[in-house]
Structure 1
Amino acid sequence: MVDNVLDYFYQISRIPRCSKNEDKIIKFIQDWAISSAYRYKTDDLGNTLVVSGDKVRIILQSHVDMVCEKRDDCLHDFKIDPIPIKSDGLFIYSDGTSLGADNGIGMALSMYMMDYFRSQRDDIALLFTVDEETGLNGAKGVDPSFLDAEYLINLDSEADDTVIVGCAGGTDMIITRDLCKKTDSFVGRAIKISVSGFSGGHSGVDIDKGFGNAIKVLLELLCELKIFDISNIRGGTAHNAIPRFAEAVVCTDLDIDTIRGHFYDLTSKYNKDNPFVEITIYKDKIHSIYDMREIIPSIKRLNHGVVTKLDDQFWNGVESSSNLAKIEVIEGADKIKVVESLRSSSEIAMNNLKKLLEKELNGFNFYYCCDYPGWKPDRDSLLLKETVDIYEKLFSIPPKVEVIHAGLECGILKGKNEKLDIISIGPNIYSPHSPDERLQIKSVDKIVKFLNRLLTDL
Structure 2
Amino acid sequence: MSKEVRNLEPKELWNNFADLNAVPRGSKKEEKVIQFMVDFGNKLNLKTVVDPVGNVIIKKPASKGMENLKTVVMQSHLDMVHQKNSDTNFDFDTEGIKMVIDGDWVKADGTTLGADNGLGVAAIMSVLASSEIKHPAIEALFTIDEETGMTGAMGLQAGYLDGEILLNLDTEEDDEIDIGCAGGVDVSALNSYNEVNAPSNSVSLKIAVTGLNGGHSGMDIDKGLGNANKIMNRILYANQEYIRISEINGGGLRNAIPRESFSKVTVYNSNKTLFERTFKKIAKEIQKEFKTTEPNLEISYERIDDIKKVMTTISQITLLNTVYSAYNGVYTMSPDMENLVETSNNVARVLVKDEKIEIMCLTRSSVESSKVDLANSLKSTFELAGYAVNLSGSYPGWKPNVDSPILKTMTKTYEELFNSKPHVVACHAGLECGILGTNYPEMDMISFGPTIQGAHSPDERANIKSAKKFWKFLLTTLENIPAKK
TM over 0.5: yes
Task: Report whether the alignment pairs 1:344 with 2:365.
Answer: yes
Post-superposition shift, 1:281? 1.8
Q: Normalising by structure 1, what TM-score?
A: 0.95
Q: Which residue of 1 aligns with 2:308?
A: 286
Q: Which residue of 2 aligns with 1:299?
A: 323
Gaps of 5+ in 2: 1-8
Q: 1:187 to 1:416 in 2, by over 3 A?
A: farther
Counterpart code for 1:9: F
Report the more deviating stretch, 269-278 or 96-105: 269-278
Q: Which residue of 2 aligns with 1:370?
A: 393
* Residues 47-446 of structure 1 mapped to structure 2, 5 A cutoff: 47-53=55-61, 57-116=71-130, 120-121=134-135, 123-182=137-196, 185=199, 187-226=201-240, 229-253=244-268, 254-255=272-273, 257-258=276-277, 259-271=279-291, 272-273=293-294, 274-283=296-305, 286-291=308-313, 292-312=316-336, 314-331=337-354, 334-361=355-382, 362=384, 363-446=386-469
Distance 2:228 2:88 in 1: 18
Deviations 1:286-312 (A, max 9, x none): 345443112112112211111111132
Q: Check conservation: 1:228, 1:293, Cα contact below 8 A.
A: no
SS at match of 1:200: coil
User: RMSD of the TM alignment (CA)?
Assistant: 1.9
SS at match of 1:278: strand
Q: 1:257 to 1:229 in 2, by over 3 A?
A: closer
Task: Report whether the alignment pairs 1:35 with 2:43.
Answer: yes
Q: 1:366 to 1:52 in 2, by over 3 A?
A: same
Post-superposition shift, 1:113? 1.7
Q: 1:24 to 1:355 in 2, by over 3 A?
A: closer
Distance 2:163 2:16 in 1: 25
Q: Check conservation: 2:344, 2:364, Cα contact below 8 A.
A: yes
Deviations 1:142-183 (A, max 9, x none): 232223210110001001100000001110100112212236
Q: 1:404 to 1:117 in 2, by over 3 A?
A: farther
Distance 1:28 1:107 in 2: 12
Q: Check conservation: 1:186, 1:251, Cα contact below 8 A.
A: no
* Residues 9-24 of structure 1 mapped to structure 2, 5 A cutoff: 9-24=17-32
Distance 1:236 1:301 in 2: 18
Q: Check conservation: 1:169, 1:344, Cα contact below 8 A.
A: yes
Q: 1:31 to 1:267 in 2, by over 3 A?
A: same
Deviations 1:408-428 (A, max 9, x none): 100000111111100000000
Distance 2:135 2:399 in 1: 31
Q: Check conservation: 1:63, 1:132, Cα contact below 8 A.
A: yes
Distance 1:354 1:106 in 2: 31
Q: 1:335 to 1:287 in 2, by over 3 A?
A: same
Q: Check conservation: 1:221, 1:266, Cα contact below 8 A.
A: no
Counterpart code for 2:457: S
Report the more deviating stretch, 367-376 or 46-55: 46-55
Post-superposition shift, 1:358? 3.4
Q: Check conservation: 1:148, 1:417, Cα contact below 8 A.
A: no
SS at match of 2:288: coil
Post-superposition shift, 1:352? 2.8
Gaps of 5+ in 1: none
SS at match of 2:119: helix
SS at match of 1:98: coil
Distance 1:297 1:289 in 2: 14
Counterpart code for 1:150: E
Q: Check conservation: 1:217, 1:267, Cα contact below 8 A.
A: no
Counterpart code for 2:54: G
Q: 1:155 to 1:267 in 2, by over 3 A?
A: same
Report the more deviating stretch, 247-256 or 430-439: 247-256
Report the more deviating stretch, 12-21 or 225-234: 225-234
Distance 1:8 1:183 in 2: 56
Q: Check conservation: 1:22, 1:130, Cα contact below 8 A.
A: yes
The number of residues matched between the two structures is 455
Post-superposition shift, 1:330? 4.8
Deviations 1:235-276 (A, max 9, x none): 111000000011111111235743244323222211222111
SS at match of 2:195: coil
Deviations 1:394-420 (A, max 9, x none): 111121111100101000001111111
Counterpart code for 1:364: Y
SS at match of 1:293: helix
Q: Check conservation: 2:80, 2:117, Cα contact below 8 A.
A: yes
Distance 2:131 2:478 in 1: 9
Q: 1:285 to 1:222 in 2, by over 3 A?
A: closer
Distance 2:454 2:157 in 1: 32
Q: Normalising by structure 2, what TM-score?
A: 0.90
Post-superposition shift, 1:278? 3.3
Report the more deviating stretch, 186-195 or 136-145: 186-195
Counterpart code for 1:407: G
Q: 1:103 to 1:284 in 2, by over 3 A?
A: farther
Sequence identity (%): 36
Counterpart code for 2:94: I
